[in-house]
Structure 1
């Protein structure tokens, strides 16, 4: 059976409802006659096969049944726990794909686009609905728009997103997922950076609802606020950093940030390693630095704070250290 893809037409609600009904009917009656009826329904319409495939995949994601779905699993003696599982999967099947389990349904799907930038590159990309996606250096985003949702997945890097009202009716939610969770735009402009296992969200306009990947804890972040979060916890919410989106104009603006953190940010725009000695790593740094010319930014830091620059062969590494007395 071919895999259902994000580019396939949206499934008719009736087909999904029938697939949900067959989940319960086969559980209650797994006889040969009932299985033959199910097979007739399944083969009668390609949409039926696609709807059943979605049911299989949701069951597999629940951790209860391997995919493809084994009939023997549905033929077990009815039990309250088994019925509750199937009822939950059936409800998710016919509901809009809004839960984290439903998002995971797309992890092995054929995404209809992948937009990425190289080190030192920035890019502006117009999405199919008219929303604007801006990508910072070394960033990768998967795109999967379908009949239920407008979905993006940030693999790594940093993006700035300006959403617009969905031209389709009913309106589809706009969701950006990261390894730490998913963010649903509530009419907004927002900046997201993936740093290791942490996602940093800064909301410039509107609001964004965040759902953590592991705990499902939710929080709405309003305009002017930012938060870092992992898959299982939120950090404290605070005011957005100054000029958090200045990178789209080629600048890194910092206010009293540790030198090590500033060099990590600048290092994203070059291929060689950029760092500093531990003795000065926590030194507070403020200023505006051009990201398109990291070498110039390093020279500015050295001049401003009286530091020395060490460089390796062929630009493989650059290190700042405490300045030598003159």
Structure 2
């Protein structure tokens, strides 16, 4: 028997099909007799209980019903919409839990951001298991710990995660998801930034297993390496950029990065647009810049590279450009 995406011994297709059948049977006929028969099936084999736990987890992620299925949740009146949800869950039981359908179900869950920061704000948040989450500017994270897993979702922004050993036994997997994929921590410290459709992962300690949201592709990123990925493709794995987590201490450290990219990063810490003329966009920049004072950083860039600073009314925009005499 193989190992599934959660690191457990894989369940047989037969057992998963039985769980899917019971899911629909209890929905259609929630009589006491039917529930008693289900209980005998559930208790007859530890794999039956594990398969039912998978059904509970998927239903909880769907946001349609609470996870305590064995306590009456399936005895609600039937409805076409609810029946369709349960049929989808039944189909997902047969598929790998980390597959595309399961991902889409998870991604569609109507969660509110549990922890967030405003533009220019950074904060440290201790998780229930002792892990530490550091949030950069304009960042939103969902937190959903339960009896089966420690799950976080990065909606946007940047976080540094320092995982702790799970106080529960058996230990629950620690997973950070973004719109581009799922990152399972393998005893680690790692930095994740998500913007638009791309996630950037840098592993500082340990290792992280990445599964793309579109399914199929997985990769383990070891300490000292970083990678960018979208929902359906990895970019080339590279060595970590020096001081990639310097933002925790209020600094942006860059080495020969294009000016436009540096300004984009500084712009995350202020309201209003920050950019430059195309003529100097590719100019390489190196140095350390304070993110808590973007105006000072822009002044430093202008002085070192002999550029002119233009500002719009009420701070709506700031642009670096070549002086008119050049």
Distance 2:120 2:139 in 1: 10
- Report the number of matched residues: 288
Q: Secondary structure at the match of 2:82?
A: coil
CA contact (8 A) 1:116 1:138 kept: yes
Residue 68 of structure 1 corresponds to: 82
- In the aligned structure 2, how far is the partner of 1:121 from the partner of 1:59? 32
2: CA distance, partners of 1:36 / 1:195: 47
Mapping 1:207-222, distance limit 5 Å: 207-222=207-222
Contact 2:99 2:215 in 1 (8 A): no
Equivalent runs, 1:1-326 vs 2, <5 Å: 21=18, 23-24=20-21, 36=29, 40-41=33-34, 67-69=81-83, 89-90=92-93, 101-107=101-107, 109=109, 111=111, 114-325=114-325
SS at match of 2:299: helix
Name the CA shift for 1:268/1:22 in 2 (closer, same or farther; >3 Å): closer
SS in 2 for 1:262: helix
Runs of 4+ residues deviating >2 angstroms: 17-27, 34-45, 47-61, 88-92, 97-113, 323-326
- Contact 2:54/2:93, CA 8 A, preserved across alignment: no
| Gaps in structure 1 of 5+ consecutive residues | 1-16, 75-81
CA deviations 1:74-130 (Å, max 9, x no partner) are 8xxxxxxx9xx95x64456xx9x6555445444455658610000000000000000
Deviations 1:54-80 (A, max 9, x none): 67789999xxxx741269x98xxxxxx
User: In 1, Cα distance between the equivalents of 2:62 and 2:145?
Assistant: 23
Larger mean Cα displacement after TM superposition, 112-121 or 274-283: 112-121
Q: Which moved more, 1:112-121 or 1:261-270?
A: 112-121
Report the Cα distance in structure 1 between the residues aligned to 2:108 and 2:291, rounded to whole angstroms.
Answer: 35
Deviation at 1:35?
5.3
Assess, with a 3 A threshold, how the Cα gap between structure 1 residues 36 and 194 changes in structure 2: closer, same or farther.
closer
**Where does structure 2 lack aligned partners over 5 or more consecutive residues?**
1-13, 43-48, 65-79
SS at match of 1:296: helix
Normalising to structure 2: TM-score of the pair?
A: 0.76
Shift of 1:306: 0.6
**Equivalent residues of 1:185, 1:207 under 8 A apart:** yes
Structure 1 pair 35/116, CA: closer, same or farther in 2 (3 Å)? closer
Q: How has the CA–CA distance of structure 1 residues 25 and 276 changed in structure 2, closer, same or farther, with 3 Å as cutoff?
A: closer
After TM superposition, give the deviation of residue 273 of structure 1 in Å: 0.6
In the alignment, the residues of structure 1 paired with residue 265 and residue 58 of structure 2 have an alpha-carbon distance, to the nearest angstrom, of 44
Q: 1:50 to 1:255 in 2, by over 3 A?
A: closer
Tell me, in whole angstroms, the C-alpha distance in 2 between the residues paired with 1:67 and 1:127.
Answer: 36
